[in-house]
A and B are shown apart, each in its own frame.
Chain A
Amino acid sequence: MKQELKSTKFGKYGGQFVPEVLMPALEELTEQYEKYKDDPVFNKELEHYLRDFAGRPSPLYHAKRLSREYGIKIYLKREDLVHGGAHKLNNTLGQALLTRYMGKKRIIAETGAGQHGTACAMAGAAFGIKTEIYMGAKDTVRQRMNVYRMELMGAKVIPVKSGSQTLKDAINEAMRAWVSSVETTHYMIGSVVGPHPYPVMVRDFQSVIGKEVREQIMEKEGIFPDSIVACTGGGSNAMGIFYPFIEDDVDLFAVEAGGSGMKVTDKEALHSATLCAGEEGVLHGMHTKVLQNKYGQILESSSIAAGLDYAGVGPELAYLADIGRIKPRNSMDSEALGAFHDLCRFEGIIPALESSHALAYVKKAAATGELGDVVVINISGRGDKDLETVLGMGK
């Protein structure tokens, strides 16, 4: 089930659907990544940054009070404690280091809520590489504080005014900007999406999460968990924690954003549950599942969690869902909000609204027995960024 770098596909999914101008850059990136991914010097340097800059390993915490409340033994993988407050930095440190090894002088990236953009800005500053972030104009307003954070760390934030002015348009614009500067610039994608080799590379950089869990859970339980639950937008925190367990007897649940309901119109979806309700298509360089209308026009997605609000999903997740290795599920806005408050009150941890979707699913499913007796939930980020949203929703 493990995928070799040589193939650009996961079953029928994946591939490289990009303008010809970018193909040589993808070939170069594939070659360079292959060259360095097992290189001891590269990995030693990356380990150093992950430990001393990002603060890894992140703890695996037995949440006793929440366990009692939900009726299942719960461990939380604390990616919320990683520098910057989310798992995103695992990927950007890896890609920034690769950028340096490739001799490229500039990083561009897209961001939705600003979490990946912030992680790029951090890595860019730490490595002294010029960083420019494309962000939907609507998101720059909704996420003002993250714009300011990025700017404080020296990144330039470019508001994108085309289309729906959100994440998918920011990706379009970052790809366009890459087309014009491909010889000197690395495009740092923020999830396991986009053309090959991004889905493989980002998964590998995020796999540090699952590798740590393997050791930590053996230490604490002496046995693997029955299930692992992660929220899924593009799918990087999910693939990161799933992948090291892919050949083990552990059930893997990818929880998507059910938004305000599993409905679609001709132009928009009230949710972002691509694995649950999407259809095969091609978007942002990959063949995957997408939210689209009957003609193939991409729908605007929706979620209370900006980081899950995306009409596509990583191609490897689409593949793993088709073959039944992962189980796609979803939680609605209101359910995520409820679980958000639970974790705050029972454990003194304020989770990201994204991660709250994973919690909410455990709350729903614990009683059915589907999750077994011991579950690991990936708390992909902390919720400080979401306080305004939560305040706006009441309780």
Chain B
Amino acid sequence: MKIADKFNDLKKKKEGALIAYICAGDPTPEATKEYVTALVRGGVDVIELGLPFSDPVADGPTIQAGIERALNGGMTPDIYFKTVGSLRLHIPLVVMTYYNLIFKRGLEKFVKDCVASGISGIIVPDLPVEEVGELAGFCNQYDIDLIFLVAPTTTESRMKRILAEGRGFIYLVARLGVTGARSDIANSTRELIKRVKTTTPKAVGFGISNGRQAAEIIGAGADGVIVGSAFVDIIAGGKDAAGKLEALARELKEGVRDARG
């Protein structure tokens, strides 16, 4: 499913989007299928499925640990595409990974493998707009969304370039720092939501962990929230992870459902 179609549907229903990140293969490829299914049951609108890289500089301790579990569990790009291909989701799935894995596979092959396994979008946290040319070319050619991040430090001139290039949704980094659950919503987040002037949907990530925060973010004008570390924490806990993932997804979805003014 196209990301734009999903956001359009939600807009008609006046709902905010819930985007859930987990790392593929954490702790095994089989578990990932079960967890994705649980998240979908809980009402998640878009799945962001991490493809684990050995040196994840943009991730905090929680997701780093998930990535390590996944690599130890034997996750590779080949297994990733096979796993995703077997999911048959009726919601969009986007891959989040670091540039070296894409580069090593070959940009065109990576993009083609994404399309073949039903992936709708690509997020590369260490690929700024300056370096994106070739990958963006293939994404356009094969009609897949290349999703960009903007941060509170992003200057106006960079913002213009990113908004012009961004497809699917714009990923707003809520605050300075790496991924990880935190308890409050910063003022810088509200400001950033106001600064991002675009018709592309805006989703806010980094630090969101409960329904109240999610509702606040949507209330502040975002079209969606991205939640990662809170889900990965549940997986780290192990016991009845699927049930807990579904329950947290449900709470977050309730938070974003009615929050749109």
Contact = CB atoms under 8 A, between A and B. Distances in A.
A297 B68 contact: no
B238 to A, nearest CB: 20
B33 to A, nearest CB: 21
A297 B103 CA distance: 11
Interface stretch (A139-147, A175-183, A381-389): A175-183
Interface in A284-310: 284-285, 290, 292, 294-298
Given A20-B150, A283-B100, A295-B77, A179 B128 contact: no
Most A CB contacts (10 A, CB to CB) among B55, B128, B131 go to B55
A176 B76 contact: no
Interface in A68-107: none
A163 interface: yes
A296 B105 contact: yes
Contacts of A17: 99, 126-128, 131
A21 B153 contact: yes
A298 B128 contact: no
Interface in A268-325: 279-285, 290, 292, 294-298
Nearest to A25: B153
A21 B176 contact: yes
Interface size class of B (residues with CB under 8 A): 35 or more
A23 B71 contact: no
A46 B74 CA distance: 51
A280 B99 CA distance: 12
Given A23-B128, A23-B154, A295 B178 contact: no
Contacts, number: 120
Interface stretch (B20-28, B56-64, B112-120): B56-64
A169 B128 CA distance: 22
Contact of B151 (A21, A169, A175): A21
A182 B105 contact: no
Interface string A243-262: 00000000000000000000
Contacts of B128: 16-20, 23
B60 to A, nearest CB: 7
A181 B178 CA distance: 11
B178 A296 contact: no
A168 interface: yes
Given A282-B126, A292-B100, A19 B57 contact: yes
A285 B131 CA distance: 11
Interface string A4-18: 000010000001111
Interface in A199-227: none
A298 B55 contact: yes
A128 interface: no
Nearest to B176: A180
Nearest to A169: B55
B176 A179 contact: yes
A179 B54 contact: no
A162 B176 CA distance: 21
Interface string A148-183: 000000000000001100001100100110011111
B55 A283 contact: yes
Nearest to B104: A296
A285 B193 CA distance: 27
Contact of B54 (A18, A20, A163, A180): A163
B184 to A, nearest CB: 15
A20 B176 CA distance: 10
B131 A20 contact: no
A20 B178 contact: no
A104 to B, nearest CB: 14
Given A19-B57, A20-B151, A282 B103 contact: yes
Nearest to A196: B130
A282 to B, nearest CB: 5
Contacts of A163: 54-55, 64, 68
Contact of B56 (A172, A183, A281): A172
Given A163-B55, A176-B178, A297-B54, A281 B100 contact: yes
Contacts of B151: 19-21
Contact of A20 (B56, B104, B149): B149
B100 A172 contact: no
Given A163-B55, A295-B101, A296-B101, A179 B178 contact: yes
Most B CB contacts (10 A, CB to CB) among A15, A179, A279, A281 go to A179
A312 to B, nearest CB: 10
B176 A285 contact: no
B62 to A, nearest CB: 11
Most B CB contacts (10 A, CB to CB) among A27, A162, A284 go to A162
Given A20-B150, A162-B68, A296-B105, 19 more contacts: A8-B130, A15-B131, A17-B127, A19-B58, A23-B153, A23-B154, A24-B158, A25-B153, A172-B57, A176-B60, A179-B58, A279-B104, A281-B104, A282-B126, A290-B100, A296-B103, A296-B104, A297-B53, A298-B100
16 contacts: A18-B57, A19-B128, A20-B162, A21-B153, A27-B155, A163-B55, A163-B64, A169-B55, A281-B104, A284-B55, A284-B57, A290-B100, A295-B76, A296-B77, A296-B103, A298-B100
Interface of B: 53-61, 64, 68, 71, 76-78, 98-105, 125-128, 130-131, 148-155, 158, 162, 173, 176-178
Q: Please give me the 8 A-B residue pairs with the lowest Cβ-Cβ distance, nearest first.
A: A296-B104, A21-B151, A180-B177, A297-B54, A296-B101, A296-B100, A282-B100, A19-B58
